[in-house]
Structure 1
Amino acid sequence: MKRTIRTTALAVGALTASLGLSAGPAHADVPAPRVDLRVLVVSDGGPATDAIAAELETAGTPYTEVDLQDAGRPVIDAGFLADTVDGRPRAKYQAVVLPNDNPFPANSAEMTALASYERTYAIPQVDAYTYARPEVGLQYAVGAGYAGSVDGVSAEVTPAGLAGPFGYLEGAVPFEDNSPTVGESYAYLSTPAPGADFVPYVQAAIPGRATKGALVGEYRHDGRRELVVTFVYNQHQQQFRLLARGIVEWMTGGVHLGADRNYFAVHVDDVFAADDRWDTRLNCTPGDVDCPPGEGTPNPIRMVPADVDHATAWQDSRNFTLDMAYNGSGSVDHRQDNNGADPLADKLIADRDDFRWINHTYTHAFLGCRQDVSVVPWKCATNPDGSTQWVSRNEISDEIATNRVWGESAGLPLDDDELVTGEHSGLKVTPQQPGDNPNLGLALADNGIAWLASDNSRDPVQRQVGSATTVSRYPMNVFYNAGRAAEQVDEYNWIYTSRAQGGSGICEDNPATSTCLPAPLDTEAGYAGHIVPLETRIALGHVLSNDPKPHFIHQSNLAEDRIAYPVLDGVLGGYDALFDESTPVVNLRMEDIGVEMQRRASWRGAVDAGQVTAYRVGDTVTVQAPGGVAVTATMPAGTLRGNAGFGDAYAGALSGWTATAGGPLTLTLPSTVTAPGPVTEPGGPAAAASTAPRTRVPAGVSDPVPYGAER
């Protein structure tokens, strides 16, 4: 969503002169200013400004980035910041983000221009990470405060923060501490300077003292408003993810393009079928392609009716719906082997309306190349001329259509245009099959498939395959071939330990693998003590990142020890402890997720191409976008589109997609929202502030401590 400026500087001119405005009170003959809905991000290449830019990018909020390290960057002067359009003064940016309170040399004309611009148009400024000092309304941290690591600290939102921009939170803001050997967070904790108009929004206890110091707060001075942030962060850390929404809401006054919601969906693959079990002696899965042919005895894992009861009760307790990706032949085969009986299928079909259902193909066949499993790892079978043997169009179509008919006959509430192929097969899988099966797209079109699941770990970008658009899914590191916690730990140990420790050696071959273990986990305690917290943190990180992509597990994980639930409870329970009830998890089905991702791509393309304009004059917001491109925006409660309400309520605001026909979208803000405009109090320019001191950035922020790998 950014527009990076690398052109030559515009002509220099004093802001007040170029606009015909004085620095004092507004005059009656000066029309209300137009403020464009775009954010100016002035970056020093540090992680804090990068994090805010990433938040704007993901949400779809337009911004312009000026890189202070770029010798060819424009000068930030009056002409760069403002001009006049149709006789009306125009502020080109609704907010300014700086690396700190003053990243320029002392007595900088650029900082003077920014300060004058902010006073004239009431433009807020975010100090992304700055030193606690009187220039930002705080006492120096040295002496009365604290400067140092805040790894693992439990911060809190103040009453003012809850009543203001961070009201979507429950109150706690825990800081990550993912590694005992890596510094991940650093902060300056201090109290407001005497006489300063400073309101803390987020604070933490000052070590060794009875007082608390500000981590985020608002400083009002000289006709300007600054959001002062005194801790460093990157875009992935939980503490930033929790506060990112509030930072944007504060700087935009709750009026901006783009939207941020917290999504979580979980697909359960192989329902009605059985999953092969990991053999702790052979270190492979008999019956699957990772075991040499004939080695070991398959010992399948399959849900029972009590597992269905547990799933429905769990859903009710969490107000959450699982998506069941089913294979009809699993039930057909079970009935054939059990004199026509299948209590699991009977129970699932009886409770079918409690779940969402997705076609997962009839037999879970591999739909890519024909696999040669006489070797481990398997390879694609080839024709005499060396060409790849592919599963045919008819075979793929039969897998889709037969499973659909079986599901319809069972009364499953299906969306016929959704599909998850077995193992995401048919799509490319490296190294064996670097391209899609050329017959896949044809078969998808034959069956009217519009949404096709893909594996985010190998195919993360939404793309078109025949008639279908892919929906990338996050694989959870809760293994398909484990029904017991001890099996999960044994396989985990084998994969992520060294060969000398009896492991696979993947970490020796690929040191970048982030879940490598220094020693094997304890079989009894390793799942609850290590794997569950790690997988919870990974998934919750996705939820907090405005990322709608679903996660997937397997029916085996809901059976026997039901090992998926501790992770799912960790995600949803952890979320509930952090967020106010106005900000629920958004639990979408696959098709809706695909539409959301598709709309984002279309919107991003229009913004990046300069085809979107948006501005505010008084209480009216006007947005112009190309026809066919839905507009995404966040507005205060009470905003109207014509005589109707705008958007849907979320996190104390209204947001959503609005279709347009290429004409302007006009929104009317409630009268309680303050309109931007020249400052009405005289308050002339303040004395030039000194350049902000250098702040410390620990290694765990520059190079984030990883959560772990996907599998």
Structure 2
Amino acid sequence: MKRTIRTTALTVGALIAALGLQAGPAQADTTAPRIDLRVLVVSDGGPATDAIAAELDAAGTPYTKVDLTSSARPVIDAGFLADTVDGRPRAKFQAVVLPNDNPFAAGSAEMAALASYEQTYAIPQVDAYTYARPQAGLNVPTSGGYSGSIDGVQAQVTDAGRSGPFGYLKGAVPFEDNSPSVGESYAYLSTPAPGADFTPYVQAAIPGTTTQGSLVGEYRHDGRRELVVTFVYNQYQEQFRLLSRGIVEWMTGGVHLGASRNYFAVHVDDVFLSDDRWDTQLNCTPGDIDCTNSSATPNPIRMTPADVDYATAWEQSHHFTLDLVYNGSGSIDQREDNNGADLLADRLVADRNQFRWVNHTYTHAFLGCEQDTTVVPWKCETNPDGSTQWVSRQTIDAEIANNRAWGQANGLPLDNSELVTGEHSGLYILPQQPDDNPNLAPALADNGVKWLAADASRQPGQRQVGPAATVPRYPMNVFYNAGHASEETDEYNWLYTSRAQGGSGICEDNPDTTTCLPAPLDTGTGYQNYIVPLETRIDLGHVLSNDPKPHYIHQSNLAEDRIAYPVLNGVLDGYNALFADNTPLVNLRMKDIGTELQRRAAWKSALDAGQVTAYRIGDAVTVQAPNGTAVTASLPTGTTIGAGSFGTAYAGQVSGWTPSSGAALTFTLPHSAAAPAGTARTGAKATAPAPRTKVPAGVKKQVPYTREH
């Protein structure tokens, strides 16, 4: 099993092989053209080109989008594609993405200009989703191939794909099949046309045969190279997420701005506290403010020393570190109630270096407005003049400082710049509290807090709160008030079944955000058979989206039935089955996630403002960005910057962040990064427009992970 990366901030990246240009000594090359590090995306409004654009956005790779459906779009001609800068020919784009192999009308001057441009500068072209035909290097599907759904098919990366652009994958590429009633993908499976220089990279068996049909392959012809993709996808589907990195690396030759990694971090909240348990008869949680039944009796859930032993053994076997988000008063209360004994705290403190630790405030107090809990839902208390009564700065200070002092006294390895408030309180909570507590920011400053957790389901974007930047966290659908799988399933049924089925009907009242289950899940099997696979797919989707935001669960989920582990195992084992050892999960602590999000925001702002210039000439890559904006890039192994090496290894490359003073940065590529030689340039040949391809309804948007009505 591969190890996860336990690192802090990433270093920078360089840029890899030039698009079809032979590399020479950086200072001596006076003949090579300038290739700007920017991608041209030509879109017809379909999901495939939009998915590639989304991948470039997420990585921070600049591109120009031309919308073929817009009457105001620019004409793609020689002047649009290339010019001369300082006497040197310049290619304005390092790669071209088209919706298919020829989206223009017959005899199109624009397609001829693109073909000529690609030949002149050895620029690769991606056919985002095209019909299999000889013009794309393939036989038509009616000649022993297949046209149709490939939902649930497991494709494979070929040996050429693994030794080439998809070397970060082990081999399997499963296609989603989330709903039996929705078409989620469609493909043309076919073999290379006679005489075509075509190399399949990803393929699947043609139904009813043992013959493999290409799904992704490289076609070389007429001095050009095309990556031919014959299946449709959207940006959310697992099959695209698995292949998107390889598509980008192929079309950029591995030299591009931006970087992509697969991240996973898990915070365990309420450590040392007890969490109240869901009551399967009352359909509420005794001890919580919204459980008003007079017969409700709290029944707490708390970890034991055996649960700590299990957690440390699990971490070691999975090479993964959990972040324990703790409340020190939970141990104080336990000792007061048990003649000074707290076996859980003793074991956790003894094993403290097996985990990362985050301050969760001393008592888990609500730090927003003063709550009026006599009504459900609660509301904010008000002053006589109608203004909101806020929890004081002194109270917030005490919650942060007292918990820090408790942790330091017990030797917990803390980073005092990190904080998770109870229920993410202090930050606005809609609808009751539309504003942050004005006392929160000063208290954060008092205590040196720079990174403050937020709930990503409420506040998905990073924002500034006084001296601190938020770190949005994904809530996992493993409930805080469940220690047994049967309790989790019972509450899930209450939330996600209709009133007619005995549920709360919340799913009926919010049709845009949830889908009612057609029937309650079996409380004996529903968790393992339905909830675990569902949550695993959702979380793995975050992992594969270059999204560093952490997930969070609660200490109760590591106790009793230990219901968090099946989901965590699903994510980690599922990931390890798909990715090669050179592409480990990146397991960052909270402050480093915050730093990554902050750098990305600054980089995106600079790109959007047109303040970044980047190009390659021979072996030299030059990047200029505003002073104080770190530069991100992905480059071939062996790239240097100045006298030092560049970046850290990931997925067969090096990548990372490099500080910028505003002056030009120069990266030197290794000689081994020279692009493969192109075929003979025999002149651009006119081809007919590509036939219309089929796009099933389910591929236009993310297919719901829940069962259909």
Q: Counterparts of 1:143 and 1:675 in 2: how far apart (Å)?
A: 34
Shift of 1:642: 2.0
Q: Counterparts of 1:419 and 1:482 in 2: how far apart (Å)?
A: 25
Spell out, residue by residue over 1:626-676, the C-alpha distance to the aligned partner (whole angstroms, 9 max, x if none). 110111000011111122211000000000001121111111111122259
2:286: which partner in 1? 286
**Percent of matched pairs sharing the same residue:** 76
Spell out, residue by residue over 1:125-175, the C-alpha distance to the aligned partner (whole angstroms, 9 max, x if none). 000000000110000012410000000000000000000000000100000
1:525: which partner in 2? 525
1:412: which partner in 2? 412
Structure 1 contact 379–432 (Cα < 8 Å) conserved: yes
| Local SS of the residue matching 1:345 | helix
Q: Counterparts of 2:701 and 2:205 in 1: how far apart (Å)?
A: 27
Q: Which amino acid aligns with 2:207?
A: P
Shift of 1:270: 0.1
Shift of 1:116: 0.1
2:376: which partner in 1? 376
User: What RMSD in Å do the two structures reach over aligned CA positions?
Assistant: 1.4
1:464 aligns with 2:469: no
| Local SS of the residue matching 1:457 | coil
Alpha carbons of 1:280 and 1:673: their partners in 2 closer, same or farther (altered >3 Å)?
Answer: same
1:657 aligns with 2:662: no
1:186: which partner in 2? 186
2:695: which partner in 1? 697
Q: Counterparts of 1:344 and 1:162 in 2: how far apart (Å)?
A: 47
2:323: which partner in 1? 323
The answer to which of 121-130 and 667-676 deviates more is: 667-676
Q: Which amino acid aligns with 1:79?
A: G
Shift of 1:435: 1.2
1:8: which partner in 2? none
Q: Counterparts of 2:676 and 2:196 in 1: how far apart (Å)?
A: 24
1:101: which partner in 2? 101
Q: Counterparts of 2:706 and 2:635 in 1: how far apart (Å)?
A: 36
Structure 1 contact 618–675 (Cα < 8 Å) conserved: no
2:231: which partner in 1? 231
Name the TM-score, length of structure 2 as normaliser: 0.95
Q: Counterparts of 1:682 and 1:220 in 2: how far apart (Å)?
A: 11
Structure 1 contact 35–676 (Cα < 8 Å) conserved: no
Shift of 1:375: 1.5
Q: Which amino acid aligns with 2:523?
A: T
Q: Which amino acid aligns with 1:219?
A: Y
Name the TM-score, length of structure 1 as normaliser: 0.94
1:512 aligns with 2:512: yes
2:6: which partner in 1? none
Q: Counterparts of 1:440 and 1:539 in 2: how far apart (Å)?
A: 31
Alpha carbons of 1:273 and 1:29: their partners in 2 closer, same or farther (altered >3 Å)?
Answer: closer
Alpha carbons of 1:130 and 1:218: their partners in 2 closer, same or farther (altered >3 Å)?
Answer: same
The answer to which of 254-263 and 389-398 deviates more is: 389-398
1:13: which partner in 2? none
| Local SS of the residue matching 2:273 | coil
Q: Counterparts of 1:428 and 1:682 in 2: how far apart (Å)?
A: 62
Structure 2 contact 508–516 (Cα < 8 Å) conserved: no
Alpha carbons of 1:676 and 1:658: their partners in 2 closer, same or farther (altered >3 Å)?
Answer: farther
The answer to which of 476-485 and 384-393 deviates more is: 384-393
Which aligned runs of 4 or more in structure 1 are off by greater than 6 angstroms? none
Spell out, residue by residue over 1:529-570, the C-alpha distance to the aligned partner (whole angstroms, 9 max, x if none). 000000000000000000000000000000000000000000
Q: Counterparts of 1:483 and 1:371 in 2: how far apart (Å)?
A: 28
1:58-73 correspondence runs (5 A): 58-73=58-73
Q: Counterparts of 2:293 and 2:432 in 1: how far apart (Å)?
A: 19
Shift of 1:385: 2.3
2:9: which partner in 1? none
Q: Which amino acid aligns with 2:327?
A: N
Structure 1 contact 304–343 (Cα < 8 Å) conserved: yes
1:435-514 correspondence runs (5 A): 435-514=435-514
Q: Counterparts of 2:268 and 2:681 in 1: how far apart (Å)?
A: 63
| Local SS of the residue matching 2:417 | strand
1:251-290 correspondence runs (5 A): 251-290=251-290
| Local SS of the residue matching 1:397 | helix
Shift of 1:187: 0.3
Structure 2 contact 222–681 (Cα < 8 Å) conserved: no
Q: Counterparts of 1:94 and 1:638 in 2: how far apart (Å)?
A: 21
Unaligned stretches of 5+ in structure 1?
Answer: 1-27
1:602: which partner in 2? 602
1:423 aligns with 2:423: yes
Q: What is the count of residue pairs matched by the alignment?
A: 680
Q: Counterparts of 1:77 and 1:676 in 2: how far apart (Å)?
A: 26
Alpha carbons of 1:408 and 1:665: their partners in 2 closer, same or farther (altered >3 Å)?
Answer: same
Shift of 1:100: 0.3
Spell out, residue by residue over 1:240-289, the C-alpha distance to the aligned partner (whole angstroms, 9 max, x if none). 00000000000000000000000000000000000000000110000012
1:681 aligns with 2:706: no
Q: Counterparts of 1:211 and 1:108 in 2: how far apart (Å)?
A: 36
Alpha carbons of 1:606 and 1:70: their partners in 2 closer, same or farther (altered >3 Å)?
Answer: same
Q: Which amino acid aligns with 1:447?
A: N
Q: Which amino acid aligns with 1:694?
A: R
Shift of 1:294: 4.2
Alpha carbons of 1:338 and 1:623: their partners in 2 closer, same or farther (altered >3 Å)?
Answer: same
Q: Which amino acid aligns with 2:186?
A: Y
Structure 2 contact 48–234 (Cα < 8 Å) conserved: yes
Q: Greater relative contact order: 1 or 2 (C-alpha under 8 angstroms, separation 6 or more)?
A: 2
